[in-house]
Amino acid sequence: MVYKIWHGYLPRFSKDHRYTLGFKIDSLFVEVIETLHQAQYIFWRQKQSYLTKASSRLDTLKFFLQILWEINGIENKKYIHLSKHIEEIGKMLGGWIKETNLKNQTL
């Protein structure tokens, strides 16, 4: 799981990066996980808003992670490793959103 990887990286950041962008990114990870967990258990007609929120939070997470990388707060190798996992989550989330849209349109 990508959060487990991130959680291993976070304590190794400098205090400046850990307590600013690091914690912001961490909270966004938790929000995405929480929202996806909620979407998993609600009636499919209501999933759209949860999935859209998760997608938005994931995009924000990617944005802040890129800023962290641009200010040299995270090593290239770690950034690439996280980005690949986050990209995969985005693809799966996009498929879930598309599937939900198709179900909503057929009714």
Structural domains of the chain, count: 1
Q: For position 79, which CATH number holds?
A: 1.20.1440.60
In this prediction, residue 101 carries a pLDDT of: 87
Q: What is the DSSP letter of 74?
A: S
- Weakly modelled stretches of the chain, pLDDT under 50: none
In this prediction, residue 43 carries a pLDDT of: 87
- Cα–Cα distance, 100 to 49 (Å, whole number): 10
19 neighbors 73 (Cβ within 8 angstroms):
no
Domain containing 92 equals 2-106
Instruction: Give the burial string for 35-73 (b: 16+ CB within 10 Å, else e).
Output: bbeebeeeeeeebeebbebbbebbeebbebbeebbeeeb
In this prediction, residue 107 carries a pLDDT of: 64
